[in-house]
Amino acid sequence: MNAPVTTDLPVVVIGAGPTGLAAAAHLVDRGLTPLVLEAGVAAGTAVREWAHVRLFSTWSEVTDPVAEKLLAPTGWVKPDAAGYPSGGDWAERYLQPLADVLGERVRFGVTLTGVSRTGRDRIVDADREAQPFVVHVTHADGREERLFARAVIDASGTWTTPGPAGGSGLPALGEKAASDRITYRVPDLKDPAVRARYAGRRTAVIGSGASAFTALAHLADLAKSADGTGTKGVWILRRGLSGSTFGGGTADQLPAFGALGLAAKAAVDDGHADAVTGFRADAFERATDGRLILVGEDGRSLDPVDEVIVLTGFRPDLSFLSELRLGLDERLQAPTGLAPLIDPNQHSCGTVYPHGVKELSHPEKGVYLVGMKSYGRAPTFLAMTGYEQVRSIAAALAGDREAAERVELTLPETGVCGGAGLFDDPDARQDGDGGGCCGTPTTLQIGVGTPARSDGC
């Protein structure tokens, strides 16, 4: 196999989501050639799967300036900067137009199956850095192809690998067998079929982040509707309650995230959900009527539920990168230079120090994990962070070290946050999950005061 000269090759970008497309825009702006590989059939495939969920960031915070510059000649008009897009808005009004302007530099229906150095497996040292990357892909029709790249930017995210319900990080016993009653995504209760699944039912929500807040708020709205009488949520937290449980409230610099936490609190205060704290799921059992009984690690069993929504975060899929020499933190599975800055035990979105190519580099020169995937299992990622990451990396690949190391980004301070989550309230735009310690297991109706500001999980 004769590999081409490295400098003549494109930079392969994995994933046509927000960060991947921004990376392509920055590479184009730097005079480099990107090749974006997307497994789905359209831009923002993962984002489209939560099209019904509204972000807690405004349009001004989820579009990249260099991407905007690329879009401008097409007549694209940036949406109202103060508005809050849904996932569907983000995909249709920004991501797809950006993919369209990038044209043939974005390929859809392409699944990446492996990345290595040409002629060098993980073990071989000799002349390693001089070899281009070799990327194996499979097309939608089953055809396999080998591509070469001067560098690889992995922006594939973590959406396809959600965390399980089990408190140990492994699926609870019986979790797979109970899959007919479990979902790992915030359900779209505007879809009549989905709505019928939860209306009048008792649903457990496992998780403590933005997605769990959203699910609780949606279930509360359903319970208050004419067709939702009898709908009840059971909010299961692995940790105890504290002032920071609901985020930053009215003091949050991301007002929509603060509103989201307050909506989750209201769902419990108003009796539409019960909170169970200090509960770490160990097993799912079936009641005689087919409903599910959650059993904790301490042997405690909860009352049967009809459905379970598991929102315990996500984790990176590193399987196709196994032949590369990655430097990853042993806990978060994030780059070792980045991990201390994003540890959810210490940081919220707003306390993550701006970072770029230096923190994202690996022992394998020329490969970068960016966007949500760069955060590993940490839930504190914001789109603005990803845009700054790829700006720095593109500058480094273009040989502009000064620009690469000049990282300038001011993030809003907020409580615990993990991505999209604002409930779909038409008035929301006017409003201005991680681990944690475990409390004593208890079931209660909670009525804590206005949540205090928090800089950690």
How much is the average pLDDT of 57-65?
A: 93
* Residue 2 pLDDT: 58
Give the pTM: 0.85
Taking residues 419-442, report their average pLDDT.
34
Tell me what pLDDT residue 247 has: 62
Q: Would you call 214 helix, strand, or coil by DSSP?
A: helix
Better pLDDT: 199 or 211: 199
Under the banding of pLDDT at 50, 70 and 90, the label for residue 440 is very low
| pLDDT value at 262 more than 90 | no
Comparing 280 with 422, the larger pLDDT belongs to: 280
pLDDT at residue number 438? 28
Listed in sequence order, the residues at least 6 apart from 380 whose beta carbon sits closer than 8 Å to its beta carbon are 342, 344, 347, 348, 349, 352, 416, 417, 418
Report the C-alpha gap between 377 and 342 in whole angstroms: 10
Task: Please say whether the beta carbons of 93 and 79 come within 8 A.
Answer: yes
Sheet arrangement for strand 106-108: 106-108, 34-38, 11-14, 151-154, 367-369
Tell me phi and psi for residue 368, to 5 degrees: -140, 135
Q: Is the pLDDT of residue 346 over 60?
A: yes
Asked if pLDDT for residue 426 goes beyond 80, the answer is no
**Averaged over 231-259, what is the pLDDT?**
72
pLDDT of residue 160 exceeding 90, the answer is yes
The residue that leads in pLDDT, 295 or 450, is 295
For residue 432, which of 422, 442, 443 has the smallest C-alpha distance? Answer: 422
Give the pLDDT score at 382: 86
Which has the minimum average pLDDT: 79-93, 260-274, 348-362, 365-379? 348-362
How far is residue 74's CA from residue 93's CA, in Å, rounded to a whole number?
13
pLDDT for 261 equals: 78
* Lowest mean per-residue pLDDT among 288-302, 305-319, 329-343, 348-362: 348-362
Does residue 449 carry a pLDDT above 70?
A: no
- Gap between the Cα atoms of 266 and 154, Å rounded: 39
Over 90: is that where the pLDDT of 395 sits?
yes
Residue located via tokens 């700006």: 391
Question: What value does the mean pLDDT of the chain take?
Answer: 86
Q: List b or e across 98-110, with b for residues whose CB sees 16 or more CB atoms inside 10 angstroms.
A: bbebbeebbebeb
Answer yes or no: are the C-beta atoms of 244 and 456 closer than 8 Å. yes
List helix spans (H) across 199-279.
210-223, 255-269
Residue 180 has pLDDT above 50, yes or no: yes
Q: How confident is the model at residue 186 (pLDDT cuts 50, 70, 90)?
A: very high
* Distance from the Cα of residue 364 to its chain's centroid: 25
pLDDT bracket for residue 252 (50, 70, 90): low
CA distance linking residue 237 with residue 276, whole number of Å: 6
Would you state the pLDDT for residue 419? 35
Q: Are 105 and 33 in contact (CB under 8 A)?
A: yes
Average pLDDT of the residues in 339-368: 83
Residue labelled with tokens 């369209």: 100
pLDDT at residue 251 tops 60:
no
Question: Any bridge partners for residue 308, and if so which?
Answer: 182, 204
